[in-house]
Structure 1
Amino acid sequence: MRTVGVEEELLLVDAESGDPRALSTAVLALAERRAEGESVFESELHDQQLEFATEPRSAMGDLAEEILRWRAEAAHSAAEAGAAVAALATSPLPVSPSIGEGERYRWLAERFGLTAQEQLTCGCHVHVSVESDEEGVAVLDRVRPWLPVLLALSANSPFWQGQDTSYDSYRSRVWGRWPSAGPVEIFGSADRYHEQVRTLVGTGVLRDEGMIYFDARLSHRYPTVEFRVADVCLDPADPVLLATLARGLVETAARAWRAGEPPEPVPVSALRMAAWQAARSGTGGRLLHPLTLRPEPAGDVLQALLAHVRDALEDSGDLASADKALRDVLTRGTGARTQRELLAGSDSLRTVVTECAARTRG
């Protein structure tokens, strides 16, 4: 059974007004004290963010429990600092983000200017274990067409600087400003993958391998494939669904590789179209089908994804729960829909943020 881990980035906000608060240093110190020096929380590029990472898990129930636990712990530590945490991929309210402390963050701010300054975005990263770099690159080559579907499932960033962007995932549009972000070509081998990474770092545009921001990549820290395409999700059930589908995609791709089946030769330009469509409409409209690249109802494309990974999910015992979770998302919508419904009911973006913080706290 492949293990799965999830990293979530959370927004630090004022508990009453909903305004983003630059309190990561204080919250991290409080979290470390609460955990007696072994905190799972880390800083991010901006002081208005907090990140945690789960342990590698084989059972999705264990992963779900851990996500709930660390969201609650983050909320407790933030409350001690006079703030709250919200699982929002962008701030609905206007904000002037502040860059965090440390040489790396200062380098990013100087090197990338406004692009770095405006990157107050919160994502969800899913790590799935692989046996080798060769298997990992074979997986990357074969999951490419399905990554926009994961983006649509996670869409949770309709607002930016106080405005409705008309996108369900505007975070992905902002994140795409980094020079190494987005979909990539088929590599064919681990050697070619690593050669490409060395070439990109060698240009001097990127500081190091940690800035390889592909939609999915080999982790430079763990023996995993890291899916980086998703927004942080408002409903805590959704990162579990993402992890379930990501593991199914990895196992399905690895089996195809071992069977000698080649990856689908989808051009990067078409993948960019599919990612744009997923960011624009989420699960509420049409998506580009990964195999035909033609627009189809989102529900049909989600069912195509489930069918694609069905055998792997049956073998891991996750098929029934994944099927139910997919139907739940289609019924209630993603975080983007929830945020817009909250705004429609209150006519206040501040209420949107404070209600989402309450839901994050659980």
Structure 2
Amino acid sequence: MEEEFLLVDPQTGAPVNLAEEVVAIAREQLGLELEHELTGAQVEINTTVCRDVEQARRELLETRRQVARAARAAGCRAIAVGAPPLGEASGEVTDSLRYRRIAREFGALAEQQLICGCHVHVEVPDRETAVQVCNHVRPWLPVLAAVTANSPFSGGEDTGFASWRSTVWSRWPVSGPPPVFSSWEHYEELCDTMIAAGTALDRAMVYWDVRPATELPTVEVRVSDVAATVDEAVLLAAVVRALVAQAVVDVGRGVEAEPVPQEVLRQACWSASNEGMRGTVLDVLSGEPRPVRDQLEDLVRRLTPVFEANGDLPAVQRGLRLLDGEGGGAERQRRAFGNGDVESLLSLVDVDNADRTAPQETTAC
């Protein structure tokens, strides 16, 4: 898993370009290797290859705590939020060869990508299987987007979206849900076309919400905001892991993916980013608007045998209890910032809040 975090001023919550200092402190004082991101107000963490989601949970808990320590030592605060809720929504582009090139080619678009997502990688047998797995995952992208929608604010104002990050991200020419791929060769041809057109510098800039990873033998699902809590991130990881595992089996059996038109999927994903967990979004498989929570319940029910086989069902139930008891990240942010209380908002999304537990009394599906 990959998670991106925003660095902000501890009092005002405005983004601060202190990634260089935070990365150095993490490495030198804590032995933690953080990654730079496109702007200097972001850092990224990566888990190791995890055999189950409980391992991922342990790693995320510990790593988030270490990121919080490094940020405090650098004089800032690390928060788990999809887009800056306060202050300017742009940052200084990180001084690296690749990021400078992106800034030259894409201008202000690069500076305005001060957003933080979560990417889940799941291993697949080969490239041909990878593109077919992407086809099977596509119809569930709106539900996955809603699960961790965690960016309702920008510049201190409510955007009206549960995930403002998704709207900002959609400005890239190669983003959103991918088309249906007929083969690995088809995927490669599409990538070559975009690179030739100048809308992507290379395959790493093919930013579709699900794609074959560029450097790993995995399918990468990248539709989500970074989650406010570890349990929500783990819920996402468990669902993606099971979706991919079931898709690999289906591909092996010759089961065709539902060929949902790309434009239909785009509409549903836009609605999911607008509505969040407690909204109603087009169910692309039935063609009817349905509550997101009902669609998630259908998905969990469908994947329960896989969760049980993987040992991931308790983690899924824990994440669902949190969502049912407290709402999604966007809802919790709106409650915290309802009276303009900056500290309440920052405390809610502080990465040191990583181990906040789900309510136990709520029944999960």
Please indicate, yes or no, whether the TM-score normalized by the shorter chain is above 0.5: yes
The residue number in structure 2 matching 1:52 is 45
Q: Does the CA-based 8 Å contact 2:174-2:199 persist in structure 1?
A: no
Is 2:12–2:342's contact at 8 Å kept on the other side of the alignment? no
TM-score, reference length from structure 2: 0.93
Cα drift, residue 196 of structure 1: 1.6
Distance in 1, Cα, partners of 2:95 & 2:245? 39
The partner residue of 2:297 within 297, 303, 309 is 303
Deviations 1:29-66 (A, max 9, x none): 11110244xx3311101111010100010121111010
Deviation of 1:110 after TM superposition, in Å, equals: 2.0
Q: Which residue of 1 aligns with 2:329?
A: 335
In structure 2, how many angstroms separate the alpha carbons of the residues matched to 1:69 and 1:42?
16
Partner-residue secondary structure (3-state), 2:81:
coil
Q: C-alpha separation between the residues in 2 aligned to 1:172 and 1:250?
A: 22
Aligned length in residues? 354
Query: Is residue 2:12 matched to residue 1:25?
Result: no
Query: What residue is the counterpart of 1:140 in the other structure?
Result: 134
Q: In the alignment, which of 313, 318, 323 is matched to residue 317 of structure 2?
A: 323
Match of 1:347 in 2: 340
Matches of 1:53 and 1:186, distance apart in 2: 29
Partner of 1:131: 125
Return the letter of the residue paired with 1:308: R
Deviation by residue 1:74-109 (Cα, 9 ceiling, x = unmatched): 111111111110001111112142111112212222
CA positional deviation for 1:361: 6.0
Q: Which amino acid aligns with 2:265?
A: L
1:184 Cα deviation (Å)?
1.4
Q: Distance in 1 between the 2:245 and 2:322 partners? A: 24
Check whether the contact 2:8–2:14 (CA below 8 A) recurs between aligned residues.
Answer: yes
Q: Secondary structure at the residue paired with 1:309?
A: helix
Deviation at 1:355, TM superposition (A): 4.0
* Pairwise CA distance, 1:329: 1.0
CA distance in 2, matches of 1:202, 1:250: 31
C-alpha displacement of 1:285 = 1.5
Moved more, 57-66 or 283-292: 283-292
* Residue type at the aligned position of 1:72: R
Q: Any gaps of 5 or more consecutive residues in structure 2?
A: 356-365
**Please, what is the CA RMSD of the aligned residues?**
1.5
**CA drift at 1:347:** 2.1
Deviations 1:217-247 (A, max 9, x none): 1111111100010000101101111110001
Matched AA of 1:244: A
Q: 1:251 aligns with which of 231, 245, 248?
A: 245
What SS does structure 1 have at the residue aligned with 2:216? coil
Paired amino acid for 1:29: A
- Residues 98, 354 of structure 1: alpha-carbon distance in 2 compared, 3 angstrom cutoff: farther
Counterpart pick for 2:68 among 75, 79, 85: 75
Sequence identity, in percent? 38
Name the CA distance, whole Å, in 2 between partners of 1:275 and 1:100.
30
Instruction: Name the CA distance, whole Å, in 2 between partners of 1:321 and 1:210.
Output: 31
CA distance in 2, matches of 1:217, 1:40: 25
Match in the other structure for 1:149: 143
Contact 1:151 1:275 in 2 (8 A): yes
Could you say what secondary structure the match of 1:234 adopts?
Answer: coil
TM-score (norm 1): 0.94
Q: Bigger shift: 136-145 or 351-360?
A: 351-360
Instruction: Give the match for residue 164 of structure 1.
Output: 158
Contact 1:8 1:122 in 2 (8 A): yes
2:82 aligned with 1:89, yes or no?
yes
Structure 1 counterpart of 2:85, one-letter code: P
**One-letter amino acid of the counterpart of residue 41, structure 1:** L
Rate the CA distance shift 1:108–1:325 in 2: closer, same or farther, 3 A: same
* More displaced 10-residue stretch of structure 1: 287-296 or 217-226: 287-296
- The superposition leaves residues 295-326 of structure 1 with CA deviations (integer Å, 9 ceiling, x where unpaired) of 11222111111122222222212234313422
Q: Partner amino acid for 1:8?
A: E
Q: Secondary structure at the match of 2:4?
A: strand
Aligned to 2:202: 208
**Residue aligned with 2:290, SS:** strand
Match of 2:211 among 194, 211, 217: 217
Corresponding residue number in structure 2 for 1:62: 55
Does 1:188 find its partner at 2:186?
Answer: no
**Quick one: distance in 1 between partners of 2:354 and 2:308?**
33
Aligned equivalents of 1:239, 1:92: Cα separation in 2: 20
* Equivalent-residue separation in structure 2 for 1:201 and 1:360 (angstroms): 41
Structure 2 CA distance, aligned partners of 1:46 and 1:350?
24
Contact 2:64 2:351 in 1 (8 A): no
Letter in 2 for 1:25: E
